[in-house]
A and B are shown apart, each in its own frame.
Chain A
Amino acid sequence: MNLLVATRKGLFVLNQSKIEKPHFLGDPVTAVLREKDDLYAALNLGHFGVKMRRSSNGGATWEEIAVPAYPPQPKAEEKTPWKLVQVWALEADPSGTLWAGTIPGGLFRSRDRGASWTLVESLWQRPERAEWFGGGYEHPGIHSICIDARDHRRITLGISCGGAWQTRDGGETWNIASHGMYAEFMPPERRNDPNIQDPHRIVQCASRPDVFWAQHHNGVFRSTDGSKSWQEVTAVTPSKFGFAVAVHPQDADTAWFVPAVKDECRVPVDGKLVVARTRDAGKSFQALGKGLPQQHAYDLVYRHGLAVDASGKHLALGSTTGGLWISENQGDAWECISTQLPPIYCVRFAD
């Protein structure tokens, strides 16, 4: 089992439960991707901007590649600067095309292994974008890029805060895809507006791509019709707030969440870190804490801090207080790898 762990102070690789020598030690790594023989890492240097690095030898050496760059901003344009703030999501489709979701809300595509990137103008130029706003960051951002396993031209995005958007033609045209979500923090007349929803993270089941799960700012939602409509899942326990979600790649009814008290108190309920698992499409949940700290735990798990591998058996969990755990039995029990890593942004299986 190979696990990539992107943190506030470097990229760590876990090999057979052992942490190997870190890459980019000291530098924030916000997204990471393995695509065939290549590893990609997105860095967000405090002073010198976002950088992209690629390794073709398993991380032995890295080379600097192009960074997604916004086109010149028209004068008298909107107040959002057309400047890359962060790469928040990195995915590859089966054709080898790379997709990068960014703050302030642009989706980029690369067809040459990151040697160049193109802004997907069809989404960026949508007038609805003016209504998006930041969630956790000053500007809106794309954190989830779900590529349909049946047809990679179907891509669904999660945007904080801009709802879910979907293309069925490889990015030529886009439709809003977050009907049914609601934002209880908004004024009543905007509560159900799909374009201002804050899905913290959206995942899609590989074997049943019509099923999506979302951990939204104010609850858990599920779609069974390819993101045309969403229904709230209210049974999640011990609370409905959180950031992360993972879905079993072969069983669309099994999904995992990491609940925290609520938005103004982002810590585990009663100081006990647990993973909430459903096996029946959200009708019931089990709070799994065996091997996780069960007293005075204040770990928060970010959007990309929970991952499931291709088998659906192994899970990884990384927290903002540097805790890293893995499970080999779908969350029934957890093994602690470290409680002293830098704040973890993203965990990702690389097998």
Chain B
Amino acid sequence: MPRVVFTSNLQRHVSCPECEVVATTVSGALEEVFKQQKQLRGYLLDEQGELRKHVFIFVDGQRARLNNAVGEESEIYVLQALTGG
């Protein structure tokens, strides 16, 4: 199952431990996490459902978008972009 890891900067505001989810896309993986932690959605996505400008996602070491596919063994990292500081 794909594994999702969140930046520690986010843990300051909302609990989001590393987890494994059943999903085939980045977006699907995040939706699975949001089911467990409803509050997290607004931290990563804006009200139009788009990834926030200063949030980056990497899948297996490559910058990814919400609609990118993820594999069984994928590692999804959710990070803060340095531009947003």
Contacts and interface: CB of A to CB of B under 8 A. Distances in A.
Given A46-B54, A47-B55, A48-B13, A84 B46 contact: yes
Interface string A260-275: 0000000000000000
A84 B48 CA distance: 10
A83 B47 contact: yes
A158 B13 CA distance: 32
B10 interface: yes
A73 B49 CA distance: 11
B22 interface: no
A45 interface: yes
Contacts of B13: 45, 48, 51
A174 interface: no
B83 to A, nearest CB: 9
10 contacts: A47-B9, A48-B42, A48-B43, A48-B44, A48-B55, A49-B42, A49-B52, A70-B48, A73-B48, A81-B48
A64 interface: yes
B84 A47 contact: yes
Contacts, number: 45
Given A64-B39, A67-B42, A47 B52 contact: yes
A298 interface: no
Nearest to B14: A64
Given A47-B85, A48-B10, 19 more contacts: A46-B54, A46-B80, A47-B52, A47-B54, A47-B55, A47-B84, A48-B13, A48-B42, A48-B52, A49-B42, A51-B13, A51-B42, A64-B14, A64-B39, A69-B47, A70-B48, A81-B48, A83-B46, A84-B47
B38 to A, nearest CB: 11
Contact of B43 (A49, A71, A72): A49
Contacts of B10: 48
Contacts of A48: 10, 13, 42-44, 52, 55, 80
A70 B78 CA distance: 24
Nearest to A84: B47
Interface string B5-29: 0000110011000000000000000
Contacts of B48: 70, 72-73, 81-83
B81 interface: yes
A48 B84 CA distance: 9
Contacts of A70: 47-48
Contacts of A84: 46-47
Sort A-B residue pairs by CB-CB distance and give the 3 closest, nearest first.
A47-B80, A69-B47, A48-B43
Interface string B42-81: 1110111000101100000000000000000000000011
Residue among A45, A48, A83, A84 having the largest count of chain B Cβ atoms under 10 Å: A48
A70 B50 CA distance: 13
Interface string A46-57: 111101000000
Contacts of A51: 13, 42
A46 B84 contact: yes
Contacts of A49: 42-43, 46, 52
A304 to B, nearest CB: 23
A47 B9 CA distance: 10
Contacts of A83: 46-48
Contacts of A82: 47-48
A273 B80 CA distance: 38
A45 B43 CA distance: 9
A46 B52 CA distance: 10
Residue among A47, A49, A72 having the largest count of chain B Cβ atoms under 10 Å: A47
Contacts of A72: 48
Contacts of B54: 46-47
Contacts of A64: 14, 39
A82 B9 CA distance: 26
Nearest to A46: B84
B48 to A, nearest CB: 6
A69 B41 CA distance: 13
Nearest to B47: A69
